[in-house]
Amino acid sequence: RAKADPVRHVCFYEVGMDEKIRARRLLAADLRRALEYNELSLHYQVQTVIATGEITGYEALLRWEHPQLGPIGPTEFIPIAEENGLILPIGEWVLRTACAEATTWEQPYKVAVNLSAVQFVHADLPRIVTEVLVQTGLSPERLELELTESAIFVDRERALHMLRQIKGLGVSVALDDFGTGYSSLDTLRAFPFDKIKIDRSFFSSTAANPQTTAIIQAVLALGKTFGIPVLAEGIETYDQLSMLSAEGCEEAQGFLLGRPAALADIVSTGQIVLTNPYSREPGAGSREKLPHQSH
> How many angstroms separate the CA atoms of 168 and 71, rounded?
37
What element of type H or E holds 24?
helix 6-34
Spell out, one character per residue from 232 to 261, where the chain touches Mg ion: x when CB under 5 A holds, - when not.
-x----------------------------
Angle at 15 between CA 12 and CA 19, to 5 degrees: 140
Binding at 211: pick from Mg ion, ligand C2E, none (beta carbon under 5-8 Å per type): none
CB atoms within 10 A of CB 177: 19
DSSP string, 148-189: -THHHHS-HHHHHHHHHHHHHTT-EEEEEEETSTT--HHHHH
Q: Is 174 exposed, middle or buried (0-12, 13-18, 19+ CB in 10 A)?
A: buried
Q: Which of residues 68 and 75 has its CB atom nearest to Mg ion in the complex?
A: 75
Q: Which of 92, 144, 149, 176 binds Mg ion (CB under 5 A)?
A: 176
Q: Enumerate residues 6+ apart whose C-beta is below 8 A from 247.
A: 213, 216, 217, 220
Which residues are bridge partners to 143 per DSSP? 111
Binding-site residue total for Mg ion (CB under 5 A)? 5
Spell out, one character per residue from 110 to 129, where the chain touches Mg ion: x when CB under 5 A holds, - when not.
----x---------------
Residue 282 carries which side chain, given as an amino acid letter?
P
Binding-site residue total for ligand C2E (CB under 6 A)? 23
* Cβ contact 169:137 at 8 Å: no
Binding at 116: pick from Mg ion, ligand C2E, none (beta carbon under 5-8 Å per type): ligand C2E
- Residues 8-37, interacting with ligand C2E (CB under 6 A): none
* Cβ contact 213:249 at 8 Å: no
Spell out, one character per residue from 141 to 180, where the chain touches ligand C2E: x when CB under 6 A holds, - when not.
-----x-----------------------------xx---
Instruction: For the CB of residue 75, give the shortest distance to ligand C2E in the complex, in Å.
Output: 5
Using rule CB under 6 A, residue 47 touches ligand C2E: no
Q: Which of 236, 239, 247, 265 binds ligand C2E (CB under 6 A)?
A: 236
E-strand stretches of 52-180? 55-66, 70-72, 110-114, 143-147, 172-178
Instruction: For the CB of residue 239, give the shortest distance to ligand C2E in the complex, in Å.
Output: 13
Q: Enumerate residues 6+ apart whose C-beta is below 8 A from 100.
A: 136, 138
Q: Which of residues 183 and 268 has its CB atom nearest to Mg ion in the complex?
A: 183
Applying CB under 5 A, the span of 78-86, 131-139, 169-177, 202-210 interacting with Mg ion comes to 169-177
Q: Is 295 exposed, middle or buried (0-12, 13-18, 19+ CB in 10 A)?
A: exposed
Instruction: For the CB of residue 295, give the shortest distance to Mg ion in the complex, in Å.
Output: 36
Q: Which of 30, 92, 144, 146 binds Mg ion (CB under 5 A)?
A: 146
Q: Which of residues 30 and 199 has its CB atom nearest to Mg ion in the complex?
A: 199
Binding site for Mg ion (CB under 5 A): 114, 146, 176-177, 233
Q: Which residues bind ligand C2E (CB under 6 A)?
A: 45, 61-62, 73-75, 78, 91, 94, 114-116, 146, 176-177, 200, 233-236, 254-255, 260
